């Protein structure tokens, strides 16, 4: 739990100069790629062909967040493309255990995301099938939203369940992450943080990544020592 990972979201990047934008975050742990289909969420971003091209030029691994309908059908193709991590939404999957196993079988880490209002309890039994659980701290679909503190109890419950099982499932949060909110999220038990505006809105994205990592790491070390 003490390892703090910062995954900048390219949703806040300049898409016209995306390759250059990726190299501005070369110090990150991964790049968070938001795939939206204008069905599961009211926004449309990019699809698999563009994601493949991003992977070819990215200096860091790809962490794909699929905000798409019919995840059971489409998510495995992203894993087959060689992405490091593929996260689907529980609300968009009919057979999440089967899908998580398929992602792993195709060589990607399996992640599952929950919208702010989706309870974590129905999915605790499948935690061993996952490499990462993503608790959305805003409603998925748009960048620049404010962090929802109502998600903190859910993050705590998820952390307690992961620690209780003694498994190495990463706990990711996405939405409204800043140098201030990363502390609250880390105190609750998250250790992987998606940050869009806080990184790409800064004059120096690399420095912003460093500040976020320092704040998150300090908090995680303090929490683990208690």
List CB contacts of 208: < 8 A, sequence separation 6 or more.
Answer: 195, 198, 199, 202
Q: Is 72 a catalytic residue?
A: no
d(CA 199, CA 174): 13
Please pick, among 29, 34, 63, 131, the residue that the annotation labels catalytic. 34
Structure tokens at 223: 């929490």
Q: Are strands 132-136 and 62-67 parallel, antiparallel or unpaired?
A: unpaired
- Angle subtended at Cα 100 by Cα 149 and Cα 189, rounded to the nearest 5 degrees: 30
CA-to-CA separations, 79 to 29, 58, 135, 154, in angstroms, rounded: 18, 16, 21, 28
Largest Cα–Cα separation, the chain: 46
Q: Is 174 a catalytic residue?
A: yes
Structure tokens at 34: 């938001």
d(CA 190, CA 216): 9
Please pick, among 29, 63, 131, 174, the residue that the annotation labels catalytic. 174
Q: So which residues are the catalytic ones?
A: 34, 174
């Amino acid at each position: 739990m003490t390892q703090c990972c910062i995954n900048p979201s390219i949703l806040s990047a300049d898409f016209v100069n995306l390759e250059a934008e990726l190299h501005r975050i070369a110090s990150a742990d991964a790049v968070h790629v938001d795939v939206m289909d204008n069905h599961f969420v009211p926004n449309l971003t990019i699809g698999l062909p563009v994601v493949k091209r991003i992977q070819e030029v990215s200096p860091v691994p790809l962490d794909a967040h699929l905000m798409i309908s019919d995840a059971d059908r489409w998510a495995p193709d992203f894993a087959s493309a060689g992405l490091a991590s593929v996260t689907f939404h529980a609300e968009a999957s009919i057979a999440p255990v089967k899908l998580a196993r398929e992602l792993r079988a195709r060589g990607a880490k399996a992640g599952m995301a929950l919208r702010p209002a989706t309870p974590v309890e129905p999915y605790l039994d499948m935690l061993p099938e996952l490499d990462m659980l993503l608790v959305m701290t805003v409603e998925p679909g748009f960048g620049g939203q404010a962090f929802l503190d109502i998600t903190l109890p859910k993050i705590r419950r998820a952390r307690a369940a992961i620690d209780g099982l003694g498994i190495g499932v990463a706990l990711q949060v996405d939405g409204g992450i800043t140098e201030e909110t990363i502390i609250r999220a880390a105190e609750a038990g998250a250790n992987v943080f998606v940050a869009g505006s806080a990184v790409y809105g800064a004059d120096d994205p690399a420095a912003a990544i460093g500040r976020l990592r320092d704040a998150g790491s300090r908090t995680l070390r303090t929490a683990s020592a208690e």
